[in-house]
Amino acid sequence: QQQVKQSPQSLIVQKGGISIINCAYENTAFDYFPWYQQFPGKGPALLIAIRPDVSEKKEGRFTISFNKSAKQFSLHIMDSQPGDSATYFCAAIKGGDFGNEKLTFGTGTRLTIIP
Amino acid sequence: NAGVTQTPKFRILKIGQSMTLQCTQDMNHNYMYWYRQDPGMGLKLIYYSVGAGITDKGEVPNGYNVSRSTTEDFPLRLELAAPSQTSVYFCASSYSRSGANVLTFGAGSRLTVL
C-alpha cells in the first residue's frame, strides 16, 4: 500500500522556469513532511521540510506548499538551474513516538533542467 | 568528517552467492537504517537499529540479515542472492529516533545479481 503518491515520475524544465512536484497522502496522522534531494551517484539529502500547521515554507528558491484539507503538498523550485537536476523524494511520518523507521517515501521525481 | 561510508560501491553476484554490504558512520549516531532503492519504487526500509545490539525488521526484510555489534558499524548480509535483490542499497543514520530528525545517507552500493 503506497501511502504517499508522488508525481510526475520525471520532469523536464527549462532553465529559469518553475519546477513543481506534487505529493498526496492518505494517512491524516502524518504530521511531518520532508523533501529529500538526490544527485546521481549520491545518497538522498534533506532539502526542506514542513509541518501541517503552516501552509507554506520557503528556503531560498525552494518552497513547500501544503494543503491539509486536500492532503496534498508540493515542492516548487523557482528560477530552476541546471544544478537542480536531481531526483526528488517527498516523505511523510506520523508524530508522537514514531521514529524514522516509520518514514514513508514517495516514488521519486527525476528532474532535468535544460539550458 | 566522513559521515556515512558504504562499501563496496558496486558488486556483481551470481545467484546463490552471499555477501555483506558494509556501513560505518563516524557521527556517534545511535540510529542506523538500511534501505533499498528500485526504479519507480522510492526507498524501502529493510532493517534498522536503535543502538548497539538492537535490530529490527523494516518493510522488506526477507533475504537479508543485519547485526549491530558497535555504534559505528551496521553491516547488511545477503544470503543466497536472488535476481530480485538487484538494487541500490543505502545505509543511513540519525542522531535521534525522532521523525523530525535528519537522516544522513551514504553514497549507496549498487548490487547486481545475475
pLDDT in tens, B22-56: 999 999 999 999 999 998 888 999 999 999 999 99
Residues B16, B36, B111, B77: what is their CA dihedral angle, to the nearest 10 degrees?
-50
pLDDT at B39: 85
* Cα separation, B50 vs B45, whole angstroms: 14
Provide, as residue numbers in chain A, all residues whose Cβ is less than 8 Å from the Cβ of B94. 100
Taking CB atoms and an 8 Å limit, are A99 and B98 in contact across chains?
Answer: yes
Share of chain B above pLDDT 90, in %: 86
Q: pLDDT for A54-92, tens place per residue?
A: 999 999 999 999 999 999 999 999 999 999 999 999 999
Q: Smallest CA–CA separation between B95 and chain A, in Å?
A: 11
The size of the A-B interface in CB pairs under 8 A is 64
Cell of B38: 528500485
Which chain A residues contact residue B32 at CB under 8 A? none
State the cell numbers at A72. Answer: 496534498
Q: Mind telling me how many Å the CA of B24 is from chain A's nearest CA?
A: 14
Tell me what the mean pLDDT of segment A90-106 comes to.
80
User: In angstroms, rounded to a whole number, what is the distance separating the alpha carbons of residues A30 and B83?
Assistant: 34
For every residue of B76-112, DSSP letters joined together read EEE-S--GGG-EEEEEEEESSSBTTSPPEE---EEEE
Nearest-Cα distance to chain B for A23, in Å, is 13
